[in-house]
Amino acid sequence: MASIEQKDDAGLKWLLVVSDGFNGKKRVKRKKIFSGTEKQALKAAVLFEDEVKNGKYCPASKDCKLSEFVDMWIKDYGEKNLAPKTLARYKEMLDSRILPTIGQLKLDKLKPMVINRLINDLADMPRKDKKEGKLSAQTIRHHYRCLSAILQDAVDWDVIKENPCSRVTPPKVKKAKVKVYDEEETSAFLTALETAPLKHRTLIWLEIATGLREGEIMGLEWIDIDFNNNSLKVERASQYLPGKGVFTKDPKTEESQRTLALPKNVMDLLKQHKAKLAEKKLKLGDFKNGGLWKGSDRLFVTWDGRPGHPTWPGKWLAKFLKDKELPHCSFHSLRHLNATMSIAAGVPLKNVSARLGHSDIGTTANIYAEALKSVDREAAEKMGKLLENKPEEKDGRAKKVKRIRR
């Protein structure tokens, strides 16, 4: 039950008090200062009690610990707005490093110096994957961004006045060069791929032709393939999280939902792959009729027709390259290979960006800066040769230039 206590002689300042259960044997009380008449204070106390009971009340920054605010933020914002994988990553960073270090601090104690000390502490923390070395600058920067995003919402929700992270400089990250196969390595890879099963050849050819994200290619269904117009639609993505298993979600961004044209040779492989799956289904028999084929509309399925695991492409590719004694290449690198080949072929950057599903052409330009520089150098050399050329007749004699009288 709510109560009010007069805090001044004029009767215009009140302390609103609401019971909020027990913490062990001790009753928890929420308190809030209110300015106004006694009648207004009583009404405000009733509303205050309703907020507390419905979990909508966040104590002032002097009373609220970072860990308490994070719990509320996850429930009210994170679970409703973040992608499952992003939320899982945020929780992992919060629970493993951020909250154990500064979670007990009240929000009003989170000054820039505290955030800076946290960054320094992170630099000395060991990796969770048990590999040698400390956390990378990129990983530390991810922790910084996670905390900053949460505290910025605290500012927007009038819980704190300013985001302490805004006055702290995160560690600089050296831009990693995108490693892709060159022409010789690509040729050797495709030659070796000829010995792979049809399903796997189709997977790799399709990836090189489209540059889809791993989750996008594993989320493709046969309804997405247009055999009449030689194209496919990206409508969903397949992902996996420990504790949740394999699940389907919308593509990463609105721009990620896109239609891509496909070359004829890739379409031919897709037709062969689809026919092969139909044969296998007939051989195993439908699960509903006592057979083993459990059925799925996905392009890439397990031996009994269930959707393939989202991480299967990368795991298979790593093993295949090792067996063939070829240079390592992640599945995501094939996406980069698609982009660099497109840029080298003169495809406009805007089209490359759209095919990759990037929400901003600047993202594409930033990732493939080296490829763009190479194309720019090639263009400059072509222009130089053009300027050096002298117009000639077919018999090799120089043309006479007719002067225009003015």
What confidence tens digit (pLDDT) does each residue in 46-101 have? 988 888 887 666 566 667 899 999 999 999 999 999 989 999 999 999 999 999 99
With vertex at residue 143, the alpha carbon angle to CA 363 and CA 87, rounded to the nearest 5 degrees, is 80
82: number of Cβ within 10 Å: 16
In this prediction, residue 368 has a pLDDT band, given cuts at 50, 70 and 90, of: confident
* Average pLDDT over all residues of the chain: 88
In this prediction, residue 391 has a pLDDT band, given cuts at 50, 70 and 90, of: low
Residue 382 pLDDT more than 60?
yes
The residue-averaged pLDDT of 249-269 equals 92
60's tokens:
């002032």
Q: Which residues of 202-236 are buried (b: 16+ CB within 10 A; e: fewer)?
A: bbbbbbbbbbbbbbbbbbbbeebbeeeeeebebbb
What pLDDT does residue 57 have?
Answer: 66
Does 48 or 26 have the greater pLDDT score? Answer: 48
41's tokens:
């204070």
Residue 189 pLDDT more than 50?
yes
pTM of the model: 0.72
What pLDDT does residue 395 have?
Answer: 54
Q: Which residues of 389-400 are buried (b: 16+ CB within 10 A; e: fewer)?
A: eeeeeeeeeeee
In this prediction, residue 216 has a pLDDT band, given cuts at 50, 70 and 90, of: very high
What pLDDT does residue 312 have?
Answer: 96
The C-alpha atoms of residue 220 and residue 310 are separated, in whole angstroms, by 11
387: number of Cβ within 10 Å: 7
In this prediction, residue 404 has a pLDDT band, given cuts at 50, 70 and 90, of: very low
What pLDDT does residue 133 have?
Answer: 84
The C-alpha atoms of residue 193 and residue 196 are separated, in whole angstroms, by 5
What pLDDT does residue 113 have?
Answer: 96
In this prediction, residue 186 has a pLDDT band, given cuts at 50, 70 and 90, of: very high
Of the candidates 339, 330, 356, 335, the residue with the CA atom closest to the CA atom of residue 253: 356
Gyration radius of the chain over CA positions: 31
